[in-house]
Amino acid sequence: MPPLAWLLVAVVAAVAAYAVGWPAWRSARSRDALDTNSERYLAWRGRATRGPRPREGMTNEERRRMVIGAALAVLALLAIVAFFVTS
């Protein structure tokens, strides 16, 4: 395959990895921050639960999107390596 094709594959895979992975990462982090803010509010009101708060983590959909995004990022890195090797 010509070097420019590898570069095109790398760019497309990187953009796809960002488009798939970033929204999942952002929603998981914002939900965690929202939970932290609500816990602070309840503590301020004197109604907080005692002990450590169980952390939800990512949903299955978010986890699946993160895995797909990571796989696309690895593909982009491999395509960049292939671009440098063939050029």
What does the block give as tokens for 60? 């299955």
CA-wise closest residue to 22 among 55, 63, 69, 61: 69
Distance CA 82, CA 50 (A): 55
**Per this entry, what is the length of the chain?**
87
Q: Please state the domain extents for the chain.
A: 3-48+60-86
What does the block give as tokens for 24? 């999942």
What does the block give as tokens for 74? 């690895």
Residues 6+ apart with CB under 8 A from 14: 72, 73, 76
What is the reported pLDDT for 34?
A: 63
pLDDT bracket for residue 43 (50, 70, 90): confident
Query: pLDDT (tens digit, 9 = 90+) per residue, 46-71?
Result: 776 766 666 677 889 999 999 999 99
